[in-house]
């Protein structure tokens, strides 16, 4: 008797996954944020669940950045940092995620009064606990908050070089892209130093500005992977370059809709990016803030974009291939993905 083909939802649930684009503060679940808000009262973040969910209604990207900064300000102790990492690992484990590259903005935690060694110690402890408790392997990307310009760049680089966590694999640049041009040379210098120290160049680009930002992260920052990159389709020469080089793009559909970069999921450029032969991975960015999950993004890809099981498995393989995992660990997860895909064929 033939085996019944699993539903697309069951297939997505069973698919082993890697998450490459998720922010530490943005990954905090609603209960975790409420816990932090009650632990550190007096700020703008609500301590009531209904009010907090309303607080996560974003008018545009600057408003999102303002809300994000308010939540980030609740992270005031090393224990808070470890709590966030372990909460993220717990949530990802429930989605069959094997590996995550978690973006941390250490400069904001230092501004809150935490010393570099204490932040690093908390991050190291959380990596060990995440693996032991939840079976999720955690790596870190340290990113520069663009709004802080040269000060943020130097502070982030200093931390990455002087007190790196054991699992630090990459150096990034995020925040409001329109803030970058006055600090272009400072960012370039910081990335050159980080790359010389063995860190991968993993900046955001082309989320809220045009192709010129993507060209800058490719040519000026030596990007090995690009966060978002959705505006690349406005420049045929850039599309051709990305297709030829196969630089991975970390695409976050629900995030782009929630921050007003795309009018709606049906208008999202991901299907065309795939049609153009670009190297695409699916990611969740700041999942509780956008009422999504990584599993939810795969379901969007199936239900809204019409991707079938083979295409979803290809996206899962892409994320593992684009990750900083070493060869044997990378192959092991890809073999798991292949087994799930074969069973559903």
Read off the pLDDT of residues 110-141 as tens digits, 9 standing for 90 and up.
Answer: 988 999 999 999 999 999 999 999 999 999 99
| Residue 15 pLDDT class (50, 70, 90 cuts) | very high
329/321 Cα distance (integer angstroms): 10
Tens digits of residue pLDDT in 144-171: 999 999 999 999 999 999 999 999 999 9
215/206 Cα distance (integer angstroms): 9
Would residue 320 count as lying in a domain? yes
pLDDT of 32 strictly over 90: no
| Residue 270 pLDDT class (50, 70, 90 cuts) | very high
pLDDT score, position 142: 98
pLDDT score, position 4: 65
Tens digits of residue pLDDT in 243-255: 999 999 999 999 9
pLDDT score, position 1: 41
Would residue 218 count as lying in a domain? yes
Average pLDDT value for residue range 169-174: 98
From edge to edge, which strands make up the β-sheet containing 226-228?
204-205, 226-228, 249-251, 280-282
Average pLDDT value for residue range 8-15: 97
More confident residue, 167 or 6: 167
274/140 Cα distance (integer angstroms): 27
Of all residues in the chain, the percent with pLDDT exceeding 70 is 99
pLDDT score, position 115: 95
| Separation of CA 145 from chain center | 14
pLDDT score, position 145: 95
Average pLDDT value for residue range 163-191: 97
What is the DSSP secondary structure assignment for residue 234, as one 8-state letter?
G
Average pLDDT value for residue range 57-63: 83
- From residue 172, alpha-carbon distances to 62, 169, 226, 255, 330 in Å are 19, 10, 9, 18, 22
195/191 Cα distance (integer angstroms): 6
Of all residues in the chain, the percent with pLDDT exceeding 90 is 81
More confident residue, 281 or 50: 281
235/312 Cα distance (integer angstroms): 27
- Smallest Cα–Cα separation from 70: which of 290, 289, 293? 289
Residue numbers annotated as active site: 207
Cβ contact 105:22 at 8 Å: no
Would residue 3 count as lying in a domain? no
Domain that holds residue 277: 8-344
Average pLDDT value for residue range 87-105: 96
Mean pLDDT, the chain, as a whole number?
94
pLDDT score, position 67: 85
pLDDT score, position 3: 57
Cβ contact 173:183 at 8 Å: no
Would residue 110 count as lying in a domain? yes
Q: How far apart are the first and last CA of the chain?
A: 16
Q: What angle do CA 341, 343, 345 make, to 5 degrees?
A: 70
Would residue 261 count as lying in a domain? yes
336/311 Cα distance (integer angstroms): 16
Would residue 1 count as lying in a domain? no
Indicate left, alpha or beta for 189 from its phi (over 0: left) and psi (-120 to 50: alpha). alpha
Those residues whose C-beta lies under 8 Å from the C-beta of residue 92, and which sit 6 or more positions away, are 19, 100, 134, 136, 294
What is the DSSP secondary structure assignment for residue 198, as one 8-state letter?
T
What is the tally of structural domains in the chain?
1
Task: Provide the CB-side half-sphere exposure for 262 (13 A, CA).
Answer: 20
CATH of the domain at 43: 3.20.20.140
pLDDT score, position 191: 98
Would residue 324 count as lying in a domain? yes
Would residue 2 count as lying in a domain? no
Tens digits of residue pLDDT in 301-343: 999 999 999 999 999 999 999 999 999 999 999 999 999 999 9
């Amino acid at each position: 008797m033939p085996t019944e083909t699993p539903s697309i939802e069951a297939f997505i649930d069973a698919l082993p996954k890697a998450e490459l684009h998720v922010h530490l503060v943005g990954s905090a679940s609603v209960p975790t944020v409420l816990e932090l808000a009650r632990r550190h009262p007096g700020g703008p973040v609500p301590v009531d669940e209904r009010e907090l969910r309303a607080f996560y209604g974003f008018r545009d990207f600057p408003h999102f950045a303002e809300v994000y900064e308010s939540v980030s300000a609740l992270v005031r102790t090393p224990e808070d940092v470890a709590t966030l990492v372990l909460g993220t690992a717990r949530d990802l484990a429930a989605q069959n995620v094997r590996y995550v590259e978690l973006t941390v903005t250490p400069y904001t935690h230092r501004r809150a009064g935490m010393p570099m060694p204490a932040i690093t110690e908390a991050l190291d402890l959380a990596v060990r606990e995440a693996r032991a408790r939840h079976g999720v392997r955690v790596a870190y990307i340290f990113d520069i908050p663009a709004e802080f310009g040269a000060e943020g760049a130097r502070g982030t680089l200093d931390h990455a070089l002087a007190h790196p966590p054991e699992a630090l694999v990459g150096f990034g640049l995020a925040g409001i892209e329109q803030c970058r041009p006055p600090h272009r040379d400072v960012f370039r210098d910081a990335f050159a130093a980080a790359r010389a120290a063995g860190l991968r160049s993993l900046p955001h680009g082309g989320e809220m500005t045009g192709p010129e930002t993507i060209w800058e992260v490719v040519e000026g920052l030596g990007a090995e992977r690009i966060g978002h990159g959705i505006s690349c389709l406005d420049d045929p020469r850039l599309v051709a370059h990305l297709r030829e080089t196969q630089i991975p793009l970390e695409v976050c559909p629900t995030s782009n809709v929630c921050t007003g970069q795309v009018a709606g999921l049906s208008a999202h450029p991901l299907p065309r990016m795939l049609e153009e032969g670009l190297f695409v991975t699916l990611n969740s960015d700041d999942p509780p803030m956008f009422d999504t999950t990584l599993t939810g993004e795969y379901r969007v890809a199936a239900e809204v974009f019409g991707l079938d099981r083979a295409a979803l498995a290809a996206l899962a393989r892409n994320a593992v291939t684009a990750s900083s995992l070493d060869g044997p660990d990378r192959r092991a997860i890809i073999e798991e993905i292949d087994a799930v895909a074969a069973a559903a064929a």
